[in-house]
Chains A and B, each alone.
Chain A
Amino acid sequence: MNSEKQYIDLYHQANDLICRHSAPLMNAHRQEALEAFQRLGFPSKQVERYKYTNVAQIFAPDYGLNLGRIDIPVNPYEVFRCDVPNLSTSLYFVLNDLFYDKALPKATLPEGVIISSLGKACEEFPEVVKRCYGQLARPGKDAINALNTMLAQDGLFIYVPRGLVVDRTIQVINILRSDVDLMVNRRVLIVLEEGAQARILVCDHALDDRNFLATQVSEVFVGENAHLELYELEETHVKCHRVSNMYVQMQANSTAVLDNITLQNGQTRNRTDVQLAGQGAEVHMNGCVIADQKQHVDNNTLIDHAAPHCQSHELYKYVLDDEAVGAFAGRILVREGAQHTVSKETNANLCASRTARMYAQPMLEIYADDVKCSHGSTVGQLGDAALFYMRQRGIPEDEARLLLKYAFVGEVLDSIRLESLRDRLHHLVEKRFRGELSKCKDCKLCK
């Protein structure tokens, strides 16, 4: 229980400081979150959805927090160059948990589209924030939600009003930068109104060789007929811990693509809950995990078919090497009355070493009869026949292995709709398999 205690104590000690540097709208939820957190505590491995990740252990070390919101003297625009060729994006940065607004991209957004810090949004668009904040990520439901709501002071706010289409990809880079071990609590609110369209790419990077712990709670609202593409790419290092909870609510006839790629990390736990709330909603989720050394990646997804005629397609692939631990739990819930549901879940995993460990748990829970649901899951290794075939043709064994691994995750990468990102990822993944650090070549930060 000590892990919980340090956060509760911290909250009691620094309550004033936290509230002073945050918006009243966010402060209004803190007391409830504290009570929920005290009641829930960190989930043990006995809790079904946290079976594969020891959350309390992740939170146990003593991290610093930047509650006083001290500025970090880095201008990310100057030092950071994203190396995705041909990808012209509107680029934004979140430094630790501060939205960087000292310089903003020159390209203008369509009028009415807002990308700003959540704190600012609380002042400028209180009605939107009030309507959405804490509505999906209820503190009472989950300890991570509670902790994040208790401590988060700011975050990212993306709002696309009715009928507007954002052509240019919105790119958000989360940068972890600190001279001491640091915990950051990010909060993300994405609201797409009726008929809106947006494409968002979120990348996680860490600059310093420090222990980092990032909690992130995202609430995503996709309105009727809206279309959202959200790509999350994690490329940090072995000392980074990420605990993310994302809640997505989709209204009638909306579509969403939620891709999650973990290339480099320490310990990662991603929970994604998607609720198909309106008829005809459709969600595509793709995930790709490449882990070696002692990395730990746990993706836990829930697709809740609450309305009829919805579709969900889920594809997750893992490649595990060394002593990496992978976990995938995907639950598909088809509620009573959600007829004509089409749902397909696929999870394939490759263990490349004796000590790698994979937990796979695809689940179907179905309460309606006129549905078409299937799931498939495999755990295996590279085929000897394929290796032999390639070696026979003069490809060295290492190269052959690499090619096969690369081809294995290719299915996920090919399903990425953002073309320039897809090409870039092919390149990054290949580099990753070659054991080269996945640096972007023009980026001064990683060097």
Chain B
Amino acid sequence: MIKDEVTSNHRQSMAEYLSPLARSIKPSGIRRFFDLVSTRKDVITLGVGEPDFVTPWHVRDAAVYALEKGKTQYTSNAGMPELREAIGQYLNDSFAVSYNPANEVLVTVGGSEAIDLALRALISPGDEILIPEPCYISYSPITTLSGGKAVGIETFAKDNFKLKAESLRAAITPKSKVLILCYPSNPTGGIMTYEDWLPIAKVVEENDLIVISDEIYAELTYGAKHVSFAAIPGMKDRTLLVSGFSKAFAMTGWRMGYACGHQDLIGAMLKIHQYTVMCAPIMAQYAALEALTPHGLEEKDRMMESYNQRRRLVVKGFREIGLECHEPEGAFYAFPSIVSTGLTSEQFAQRLLEEGNVAAVPGDVFGLGGEGHLRCSYATSVAQLTEALDRIGQFVRKLNQG
């Protein structure tokens, strides 16, 4: 059931105690859909934003071992030095960006905390934060909470949901301060290549923007290799690279993220971090350390290959059903268009759930440009995907006949 937690609570008077800011934040559209899905049985879900792999055993084992050895204390606020060292080395090897583990790397509680810290450290009241959409649902509310104003920039299927310099330029005002990037993209699967980045970097430079680059899906690209925005000439110092272990290493529940950037920004974030969470959990840090060993990286590559196989299957499936689907080159989402059915995203998703027993997330919850699309995670078994595609095919045929 959909409940407005503020008004349905028997202590109705509590609402007036809440800050206007907290009250102004809308619950996520995903939440509403989640409640709808939870009431049903025999649903195949393509709505899950996390890997279907359990964290590889040797990584879990490393955390168990850490516990056995009595590793139950705080670590240094910024994270264990050996983990920051390993992260620095890994980023250098994988994406050719180099950071000093001593003062340019901060281990956080998931990538989400890193984004929160960064926005709190950067935003002055009234600053405008530029957010290409459709995008992950947290950026805009966190911006609001930090006193900033979120400014969406629409991206389009015809551009494979890449950010275009013209669109960015058109959204800039004298108050623009930060650009939040998330490529490979949740929910579209879009990526940005080196050539795609160059004109963006130019606009960033000209307008003196700071960039928060959420690269949590960096490892999950299937054609061109991921190019970090921090690796674009001249961009390193104005970019905060945010990433973590959740997606590529199948470690969502561990809440292990990190941020890398200029020591002044990392320093300010560290201050907030030490007052709010102290440090990321130590056993999770030991697990992350294990994930970055050669054995852990091998597991990561194996999982990537498996996502790629399923990605091809799903994209081909949607196209055969007759739903337009741009080629998702990263993350683990396909973002087909359902415009041809004449339904809105919400209608399509709701009816697909009720009539086809398949759950997927309506695109409009991801902001501008999301309407008319459906986010389908292919991080689920081949058997389930095949069955889901069958059901979606039947549902769409029924719509077309009706």
Q: Do A and B come from one complex?
A: no
Interface residues of A (CB under 8 A from B): none
